[in-house]
Structure 1
């Protein structure tokens, strides 16, 4: 049997809705590195929600990429993605198919939904893991060469932690978990804040503290909130990569960014990400779940370099982005409840085979939708006061926020109900995706 027959098939994924030709070339280089160094069969999946002109330019770039052994490139616009999803949903025979399609491919920006599509497409491609990158980030360079995160992701995902212990710099994992599979490998970023609110901090540090602290549970003491504000959205700081360091551990969700993460299929094929629209941070749920369930991970230091695209600061981009930030703050009412329940459940989140229990997650989500909204009304009041204090376009945004108040409160709750619905449908979607071709003209997946 040759190497190609035994090579692990993995999905290196780039969701994008913006021009990113340089990133396409760079991620193809990472795919080539993974194939060359580890003998992996790499399915490079580009999920392109860009406008027609940008997507056409991306297609030109992809067509010009060099052919690399064991690297296959799939560049899918939204229409091919929609076709795939329609075929999966129809074949799965689930109720409310239109609702499921909307949750998987919503008309608005959804960080979770684009990754959920990658999960299903990876299942169709027969992949054992998904490795996600972002289009507004790039690889660091060291000694003139790119620092690829896949270097730490590929060797150990899905293998028992006891085996991975020999290949990391240090181990910080209870021996009772040594037989569990490595379910996550990730790092963070250096450079600009992951959330584009640096201008708020420059304008008024007090307002910055007031706003950012709103993502903490309301009953936290002030000192703990100050600590959270100090480390929020800062990633790994600004120090560049110099030498590899990796830790086998229960990975702290605060130490990993979704632009630099890989998941084993045993997790994402059981639980999807929240499909909330216009909500930053809505794609971090699996990081919390893996940690609280006691599933091992590898935390490394091949951090990606983050940058902000100028669109977020334009007259149209600014209010849209700020709204996503406010919806993130409102989502915390529900997610803090779910995270607390998951942390208390611990190992009981796993079934007798060691896999995550979807029924436990749906139960916690539905519980959270019965929470009193008073805390979120308080959050909106605090945002209104803070933004009006900043003046200018922040004050104007506060006015728009006041008009949307009721709608935002409803949407934040509905997002959680939709997530519970998707979790219930997910096993059937994954099973069906495994036997569904990417395109109607393809052969069996």
Structure 2
């Protein structure tokens, strides 16, 4: 996939009037192998390769954070580069680095995916992204196949262009579905707000984690619209400006923690383009090991606990609608931070019920699922506390994000020896 991403970067530079910064944030043990895979992208016209290990990322973040007036530097560093796995924090680092490099947009791809191929040609999502991203919706309408956008939104700029995925479920739970469809329904239904009806939950379960059912790519289909969050995936997405206003939740060991901006774009009625250049998702072998299974199921359980807070945020944002935007059509970060703070006061009884449901369901499945249920039972209070504190951390990061973005604009990605770190212009 590292090689393929390099090919997509080359495609973007060759077909559009852009400079492309190819950024690989690498925390794996295969850094040297990945560096070799990136060699083919070095020296390509208008393609600049940035391959950073965690030490290099930490150095950059320290210098950015030092430029802010925030007094708790180590806390911010921990939120940006935590010891545990964090999908949101990793993407937040990409956001700050993009700003430091002067990039106008961010285009994310994941390592556990690959591209479709049609008649020997790779189907790159960046093609649709660069056709529309950042344009006024009225102008972008000329380059899409269909427009489903209210006239009052056509003056806004396209904030997001995204597709979805094909292949394996985006969440590694197909074994549960095969073992016991009723248990699968009970567990996946925990994504929904507690007050939803059984019918609403069943509809959500049917739509969840499966991607579109349109089959392989045969030709472009694009729609300019306010994009439904259920129709796109973070492995196949691009943002313009919105990521400079609000970060992603930095929660650790929690799948889905990186999807917040998709919901924010939708709630604020910011224009987006939905395309069908879908990524092909696959699972790495590590998830099939017993330690990998336990780690993944923990992230899955914490996802459900996070939904107590995110469902509240999504409902509140939907109600606020375009009042989330300022006079320039930009997201008001203060409004999102206030809602995040408010959510920390929610009663945790719904999450207690979620844990009860997961434990009972997994004990019913038996085997290593029962082993995980016992592990979950031993950490109940800690997990409830973590879900609440994760949202408090998110609120803090939102409140600090403007200062971090401003500092990143004037910080060199890699500091030259003896240089104080100010970015040359």
**TM-score of the pair, normalised by structure 1:** 0.93
**SS where residue 131 of structure 1 aligns?**
strand
- Cα distance between partner residues in 1 of 2:215 and 2:131: 26
**SS where residue 431 of structure 1 aligns?**
helix
**SS where residue 114 of structure 2 aligns?**
strand
Matched-pair contact (CA < 8 Å) for 2:41–2:49: no
Match of 2:237 among 255, 261, 272: 261
Match of 1:75 among 39, 42, 51: 51
Q: Could you say which residue in structure 2 is the equivalent of 1:242?
A: 218
Note the residue ranges of structure 1 that are not aligned, 5 or more in a row: 1-22
- Structure 1 residue 92, shift from structure 2 partner: 1.2
Q: Could you say which residue in structure 1 is the equivalent of 2:424?
A: 444
- Structure 1 residue 277, shift from structure 2 partner: 0.3
Alignment of 1:296-315 (within 5 A): 296-315=271-290
Match of 1:142 among 110, 118, 138: 118
- Cα distance between partner residues in 2 of 1:305 and 1:376: 33
Alignment of 1:148-297 (within 5 A): 148-237=124-213, 239-264=215-240, 266-297=241-272
Match of 1:396 among 339, 363, 371: 371
- Structure 1 residue 58, shift from structure 2 partner: 1.2
For residues 49-80 of structure 1, what are the alpha-carbon distances to aligned partners after superposition, in whole Å with 9 as ceiling and x for unaligned?
112xx112112222354531000000000000
Matched-pair contact (CA < 8 Å) for 1:280–1:327: yes
- 2:53 is the counterpart of 1:50: no
Matched-pair contact (CA < 8 Å) for 1:188–1:256: yes
Matched-pair contact (CA < 8 Å) for 1:84–1:438: yes
- Cα distance between partner residues in 2 of 1:331 and 1:69: 44
Matched-pair contact (CA < 8 Å) for 1:211–1:383: yes
Match of 1:112 among 80, 88, 95: 88
- Cα distance between partner residues in 2 of 1:172 and 1:60: 44
- Cα distance between partner residues in 2 of 1:393 and 1:359: 44
Matched-pair contact (CA < 8 Å) for 1:191–1:238: no
Distance 1:250 1:238, change over 3 A: closer
- Cα distance between partner residues in 1 of 2:55 and 2:76: 16
**SS where residue 22 of structure 2 aligns?**
strand
**TM-score of the pair, normalised by structure 2:** 0.97
Q: How many residues are aligned here?
A: 420
Match of 2:321 among 346, 367, 370: 346
- Cα distance between partner residues in 2 of 1:337 and 1:429: 27
Matched-pair contact (CA < 8 Å) for 2:10–2:41: no
Matched-pair contact (CA < 8 Å) for 2:344–2:392: yes
Match of 1:127 among 103, 123, 129: 103
Q: Could you say which residue in structure 2 is the equivalent of 1:60?
A: 36
Matched-pair contact (CA < 8 Å) for 2:92–2:247: yes
**SS where residue 75 of structure 2 aligns?**
helix
Note the residue ranges of structure 2 that are not aligned, 5 or more in a row: none
Matched-pair contact (CA < 8 Å) for 2:147–2:224: yes
Aligned-residue Cα RMSD (Å) equals 1.0
For residues 135-180 of structure 1, what are the alpha-carbon distances to aligned partners after superposition, in whole Å with 9 as ceiling and x for unaligned?
0000000011110000110122111000011110000000011100
Q: Could you say which residue in structure 1 is the equivalent of 2:358?
A: 383
- 2:15 is the counterpart of 1:40: no
- Structure 1 residue 238, shift from structure 2 partner: 6.7
- Structure 1 residue 315, shift from structure 2 partner: 1.2
- Cα distance between partner residues in 2 of 1:318 and 1:34: 37
Matched-pair contact (CA < 8 Å) for 1:189–1:237: no
- 2:8 is the counterpart of 1:30: yes
- Structure 1 residue 95, shift from structure 2 partner: 2.0
Matched-pair contact (CA < 8 Å) for 1:191–1:237: no
- Cα distance between partner residues in 2 of 1:285 and 1:201: 26
Distance 1:350 1:398, change over 3 A: same
